[in-house]
Amino acid sequence: MKIDSTTNSATPVGETRSRTTIAKSATTAASEVHLSELAAGLQASGDVEPFDSARVAEIRQAIANGRFTINAEAIAERLIASASDLVAAQRRS
């Protein structure tokens, strides 16, 4: 590429492609998505908990009022349980 110092824009040297050719190749590449088996399984699983907007609003208000406390022990226990579940699922696969 050669940079034109008067307009601060790059001009291609050699082979050039039209914008439509570039757009078509970008669209084709972007439309091809391949999911791993795990991702497809997670996407297909129906055991996703619903979003509770009332609970989120309650927690947001508690944080704003300074009443929200963090239970580090409960978080650690759930994190370990989640990691154990993931390891067990990988071993079954």
Picking from 89, 88, 80, 82, the residue whose alpha carbon sits closest to that of residue 37 is 89
pTM for the complete prediction? 0.37
30 or 89, which is more confident = 89
Residue 15 has pLDDT above 80, yes or no: no
Q: What angle do CA 41, 45, 47 make, to 5 degrees?
A: 145
pLDDT for 68 equals 93
What is the C-alpha separation between 56 and 35, in angstroms, rounded? 31
pLDDT for 13 equals 54
Are 37 and 44 a contacting pair, CB within 8 Å?
A: no
> What are the pLDDT digits (tens) for 26-74?
555 557 777 787 777 777 666 666 788 999 999 999 999 999 999 999 9
Are 43 and 31 a contacting pair, CB within 8 Å?
A: no
pLDDT for 63 equals 94
Delimit the domains of the chain by residue range.
Answer: 46-92
